[in-house]
Chains A and B, each alone.
Chain A
Amino acid sequence: MPERPTGNYVKLGLFVVVGLVCLLGTLYLLGRQQNLFSRSLVVQADFRNVSGLLTGNNVRLGGITVGTVRQIKLLNDSTVRVFINLNRDAQPFVRQNAVAAIGTDGLVGNTIINLAARPGPAPPVQPGDQLRTRRPVGIDDLLGTFDKSNKNLVGITQDLRQITGKLNGSNALWELLDDRALADNLRRSLRNAATASARLSAASQDVAGLTGGVRRGRGPLGYLLTDTAFAGQLGHVSRRLAGSSDTLNALVSGLKTQLNIGAGPLHTILTDTAASRQLRQTMQHVEQGTAGFSRSMDALQHTFLLRGYLRRQQKKQAREKAATAPVARRNAD
């Protein structure tokens, strides 16, 4: 039998000891995690349904593990008694009025028992105490609710599908959306409105000049003042004019706001196609009206009453032209 160096035995011993320490360390840590080594007391709680709770599952208070399930026993057809190993350290914090409920650790985690504190004073639990329980929000109930909302969701999506199907099938809407002529019409009528208002403004300038002349008491003033019938007629005309220009003003501003709100012809059309048609008609009417007004003003120029005034106006204009022409020529030079 050969002699073995004792150093080998030392190495072997070290090897085995390190291995055993690793193993026992792991087992001890696992045991501590499952509260095998801490001193504990046993309390109990009766449930109608423990949802697959197993011996060794965690018991938590405020999310912190304070014990484990020691034993699960069927008392009768509707009662399951669960014995809980509660750490001594946690005993002062678990009151006798605490409520136990079955829960899960995350959506797919282990089943656990949650202890919830109740308001109101109560002494700490003692070994053998019975804790009150609450029917858990079981995952089954949760799934039941899910089922209901799921069905609703199915209905909703079906309706939505029908609607979109109809929308897809409706030619009218797509034609409306595609119709370029409509937009052109609108643009044209707006242009008309712009010219109409420009003319209106010219006309009102004329009126302003006229009234200015009247106020200065020149030219036709005497006639006008003596001829009350004419004055009455004139007043009537200007009243009507003022009214129609107010209406026009309102119409244009309304149009403007509508254009501001809706970003494009589509909106305007969608709000009311009838309105646009009316608008166009109105514009035509306004155009006709202003044309008529313009004509009546021309007629007015030719009436002898205003001839003198108008002639003075023309002279004045010619003078101004003569004054500005040399300046323009100098500028050109």
Chain B
Amino acid sequence: MPDESLLAETGAMTSFAGRFFREGFRPRYEVAELLHQCYVVGYQSLPMVGITGFIMGMVLTLQSRPTMAQFGAESWIPVMVGLTIIREMGPIITALIFAGKIGSSIGAELGSMRVTEQIDAMEVSGTNPFKYLVVTRVLATTLMLPVLTVLADAIGLYASYLGLNMRGTTTLALFANNVLSGLSFGDVLPAFIKTYFFGFAIGVIGCYKGYFSDKGTEGVGQAANSAVVVASLVIFLLDLLAVQITGLMGLN
């Protein structure tokens, strides 16, 4: 919808999200499709997210070591890296990778289904395509991104442990103790909860862009592309919002 303003787009997306809540929690429930989408969206993203998390943890450790060593604060590296990964880097990097992989694939898939009338065909086949396609995907992204983020955090921290052991020796127990000593619930829970919103945003935006794509195959590409762009932007906005809210709640 190139002619419509940003506001109209935002409004349409919001009403799309509202429709998700109106229709998503009424029968019939597409459980089998939901599980399949969880598998596709969650399990199959794990290798990508895992590699990213591993590199993130390793690089953070190796990069911060020289600076920390200047202050003689090498023993603070686990705390610093742990806080960085769990509070910010894990959620945001995972969400961005996820948006790139899943947001685009949802946008392209639903876009091509729209263009080839598969969505209409579902509707005449006694299936609510919104529930069957949109609700399952949005739920899958919302539920799977937090799991992926936790796993990426764990992998990243393990990579950080390996990175520390590349120069010098640290036991896993000491590393874990160091990381935990720097953490509180105020670090873990907001970071975990915000990933639900990231996942929801990625799912809703990908589905919206695909569900309402038009102009044939060109529209499908546009849907996939703009799904990623908008989702990435919204992730950062949500992150900013999350920082403000957790700050207001006194959890920072």
Contacts and interface: CB of A to CB of B under 8 A. Distances in A.
A11 interface: yes
Given A1-B32, A16-B147, A22-B154, A30 B188 contact: yes
Interface stretch (B19-27, B35-43, B205-213, B222-230): B35-43
Nearest to B176: A29
Interface in A140-184: none
A26 B185 CA distance: 10
A270 interface: no
B32 A15 contact: no
A301 interface: no
A34 B153 CA distance: 22
Contacts of B33: 1
Contacts, number: 60
Interface residues of A, number: 21
A9 B39 contact: yes
A19 B147 contact: yes
Given A15-B42, A20-B147, A4 B183 contact: no
B39 A12 contact: yes
A27 interface: yes
Contacts of B116: none
Nearest to A54: B250
B185 A30 contact: yes
Interface size class of B (residues with CB under 8 A): 20 to 34
B184 A19 contact: no
Given A4-B32, A30-B185, A33-B181, A22 B42 contact: no
Contacts of A20: 147, 150
A179 B148 CA distance: 84
B161 interface: no
A257 interface: no
Nearest to A36: B185
A18 interface: yes
Interface of A: 1, 4, 8-9, 11-12, 15-16, 18-20, 22-23, 26-27, 29-31, 33-34, 56
Contacts of B181: 33
A19 B185 contact: no
A1 B148 CA distance: 27
B198 interface: no
A18 B43 CA distance: 11
Contact of B151 (A4, A9, A19): A19
A259 B38 CA distance: 97
A64 to B, nearest CB: 14
A264 B192 CA distance: 78
A27 B185 contact: yes
A144 to B, nearest CB: 28
A20 B188 CA distance: 13
B46 interface: yes
A15 B46 contact: yes
9 contacts: A8-B43, A9-B39, A12-B35, A12-B39, A15-B46, A19-B150, A27-B188, A30-B185, A34-B184
A33 B180 contact: yes
A11 B147 contact: no
A31 B180 CA distance: 10
